Amino acid sequence: MSSNIGNIDRILRILVGVVLVTFAMLSNHELAIYGFIGVVPIFTALIGWCPAYAPFGIKTCKTE
């Protein structure tokens, strides 16, 4: 399992994930629970590999 997520992609995933999780934790909206899906982009950013990119051969990182 090689990395397929670049630095900019990682930063954006972490930002989006944090915003979604924060919304889920602080909002009283009935759909706020779905904000916890933000854990997925945070996790993929931390491990550096996105399973959705793999079947399509997408890589946002620099190739060696």
Helices (H) then strands (E): counts for the chain: 2, 0
pLDDT digits (tens, 9 = 90+) for 2-13: 889 999 999 999
pLDDT at position 48: 93
pLDDT at 1 > cutoff 80: no
Residues 6+ apart with CB under 8 A from 38: 16, 17, 18, 19, 20, 21, 23, 24
Query: What confidence score (pLDDT) does residue 62 get?
Result: 84
- One-letter amino acid identity for 14? I
Q: State pLDDT tens for residues 50-60.
A: 999 989 999 99
By the 8 A CB rule, do 8 and 60 touch?
yes
**Structure confidence at residue 64 as a pLDDT band (50, 70, 90):** low
Mean per-residue pLDDT over the chain, rounded: 93
